Amino acid sequence: MADINKKDVIKLLEDIAVLLELKAENPFKIQAYRKAAQILETDQRSLREFDDLTKINGIGAKTAATIQDYIENGYSETLQALQKQVPEGLIPLLDLPGLGGKKLSKLYHELDVIDITSLEEACQNEKVSALKGFGKKTEENILKAIQDYKKQPERLPVDDMLKVSKQVESYLDSIEAIDRYSIAGSMRRLRETVKDLDFIISTKDFDTVRKALIEMPNIKEIIANGQTKISIIITWDYDVSIDFRLVEDHQFATTLHHFTGSKDHNVAMRQRAKAQGKKISEYGVLDIETGDIETFESEEDFFQSFGLTYIPPERREADGELDRFEEAVDLVESSMIKGDLHMHTTWSDGAESLEDMAQFVTDKGYHYMAVTDHSKFLRVAHGLNEKRLRDQIKEIERVRQLYPDLTIFSGIEMDILPDGTLDFDDTVLAELDFVIASIHSSFNQTEDQIMYRLNQAMENPYVHMIAHPTGRIIGKREGYAVDVDKLITKAKETKTILELNANPKRLDLNSVWLKKAQEKGVKIAINTDAHRKSNLDFINEGVKMARKGWLNPDSVINTYSVDQLKSVLKEKKNR
């Protein structure tokens, strides 16, 4: 059986419904798939808890068979067959604002629109505005959306580039002639936006590796194909430039350092080398007096040769790191994380059951977890009302018996409402172990209104943490008008924890604010906000951002033992 969760099945059903809509199939057939998706979305069970899909009211035998086929094989023959019947260029048009399946189907069948080029031509020739149900304004909006779609930003959000880099790394893993490799550049430093990707590759067989690299899937253009440097442009959601640098293994560490640090970091390292009678290049370190070139097995050895302890990649930004790392610096590491305090299950909008999440957390070696599904205000996420929350507390108690070595905190991610009130009253919050407060609505309010909402939440003795405090989505959304300096001051005053949301789309708080929070003595929780098993691995990006903000383990509460953590949580109520 393939590793499929409920969210995957829901997406499958929605994709099939859209493709049927594009084909202008029977509306009842389309609705059958949409209804099945909605039923699964609102059912708090995970896939493995369904004994027989056909016994679920509203899911027919054919739909159930489609789901079962997908679960067992990891792919859907129904979906694949439909994809072949619809022009490939049509599907991406669904991402354009205002173009749903019905409208796009009309454009496809009546104007022969099959991709973004034919859609643009139809708009420019005023054919779209002539269609019933469209009009001039709709046509103008589509044209504007097309222009926006075509504008690729110079720097792409780190989340998008992480997905591309993982695809590339999967391909590199398949090349046997590669001895070792590493991502380099601003991606390795975890910059929030990234211009291009750099990889350093160690090999004894340059020709074989070079040949394999230029045969990589999705290559749009080969820019350079030299002996030691290959530059390509690949196309996934965006066009992405990638440089591969091939070196012999003894040169790997110095080349990796050279292409990882920022320009200013490298300048500072060269100045330090000069003061010691040395000269750094990407191929080694030259002793100016003797003419000898020293190479290194690792970057740790490289830094040690200059009297420095290892400087993590995310700290190589010329931000005082050379002075600080003359001695060991106690920065947080992924291995120090003992639990995750923000995650969602099938009780709201998660893909896995509460019991499954407990197993996944146990597999990661964690000591504790907090179950924090959405509260009732967030209806789109099937948020919990008071009754369902209390039912979930009973379920948590059942799962605790199954995992006696894991501490499971009952919790909630509760909305701070637009008027500053909280989604639950104190009598309900008092029943929970860990309460998160978040803003998910009315982002366009003034700074005073936003700060009033946040302050009201932090003043509440039952609210332990503010999640994703600025509300930003990197490269997509600026977030709301929060004065983070005032937020940090209030968090310190009220003993409220601030979150570093490790989802690469967010990384919120950022490194600048993390550093300030630590200086003020505010506690931070690095959480994944996981909605599925794989999201738990976001902790690695979160820890990198924490190191970028100079966070030490004492500032990060989920490096604490269970007893230490409980003591911190009690401090808020006793304030």
In CATH, what number is assigned to the domain containing residue 201?
A: 3.30.460.10
Whether residue 38 lies inside any domain: the answer is yes
Q: How many CA atoms lie within 13 A of 569 on its CB side?
A: 22
Whether residue 431 lies inside any domain: the answer is yes
Q: Is the peptide bond before 514 cis (omega within 30 degrees of 0)?
A: no
Distances (CA, A) of 477 to 74, 311, 518: 33, 32, 26
Residue 274 is part of a domain; what is its CATH number? 3.30.210.10
Question: Are 239 and 265 found together in one domain?
Answer: no
Range of the domain at 172: 156-247
Query: What distance, in Å, lies between the first and last C-alpha atoms of the chain?
Result: 51
Phi, psi of 547 (to 5 degrees): -65, -35
Question: Are 188 and 113 found together in one domain?
Answer: no
Whether residue 438 lies inside any domain: the answer is yes
The reported pTM is 0.90
Question: Are 560 and 545 found together in one domain?
Answer: yes
Decide: helix, strand or coil at residue 285: strand
Distance CA 142, CA 147 (A): 9
> What is the gyration radius of the CA atoms in the chain, in angstroms?
27
Dihedral, 100, 105, 107, 111 alpha carbons, nearest 10: 170
Question: Are 275 and 362 found together in one domain?
Answer: no
Question: Are 347 and 298 found together in one domain?
Answer: no
Whether residue 269 lies inside any domain: the answer is yes
Whether residue 534 lies inside any domain: the answer is yes
Domain boundary among 247, 282, 311: 247
**Residue carrying structure tokens 């009678």:** 277
User: What pLDDT does residue 2 have?
Assistant: 59
Residues 6 or more apart in contact with residue 562 via CB below 8 angstroms: 338, 367, 368, 407
Question: Are 124 and 72 found together in one domain?
Answer: yes
Question: Are 444 and 356 found together in one domain?
Answer: yes
| pLDDT tens digits for range 309-347 | 999 999 999 999 999 999 999 999 999 999 999 999 999
pLDDT in tens, the chain (575 residues): 457 888 899 999 999 999 999 998 989 999 999 999 999 988 888 888 887 887 888 888 899 889 988 988 888 999 999 999 999 889 888 888 888 888 999 999 999 999 999 999 999 999 999 998 898 999 899 999 888 877 778 899 999 999 999 999 999 999 999 999 999 999 999 999 999 999 999 999 999 999 999 999 999 999 999 999 999 999 877 899 999 999 999 999 999 999 999 999 999 999 999 999 999 999 999 999 999 999 999 999 999 999 999 999 999 999 999 999 999 999 999 999 999 999 999 999 999 999 999 999 999 999 999 999 999 998 888 999 999 999 999 999 999 999 999 999 999 999 999 999 999 999 999 999 999 999 999 999 999 999 999 999 999 999 999 999 999 999 989 999 999 999 999 999 999 999 999 999 999 999 999 999 999 999 999 999 999 999 999 999 999 999 999 999 999 999 999 999 999 999 887 76
Question: Are 295 and 312 found together in one domain?
Answer: yes
Question: Are 392 and 458 found together in one domain?
Answer: yes
| pLDDT tens digits for range 132-171 | 889 899 989 999 988 887 777 889 999 999 999 999 999 9
Whether residue 328 lies inside any domain: the answer is no
**Residue carrying structure tokens 């490298």:** 266
Domain boundary among 96, 123, 150: 150
Q: Are 172 and 199 in contact (CB under 8 A)?
A: yes
- DSSP label at 441? S
Question: Are 398 and 537 found together in one domain?
Answer: yes
Question: Are 448 and 468 found together in one domain?
Answer: yes
Whether residue 1 lies inside any domain: the answer is no
Q: 277: left (phi > 0), else alpha (psi -120 to 50), else beta?
A: left
User: What pLDDT does residue 92 have?
Assistant: 86
Residue 376 is part of a domain; what is its CATH number? 3.20.20.140
Whether residue 72 lies inside any domain: the answer is yes
Question: Are 219 and 307 found together in one domain?
Answer: no
Q: State the total domains in the chain.
A: 4
Distance CA 112, CA 87 (A): 10
Domain boundary among 150, 165, 181: 150
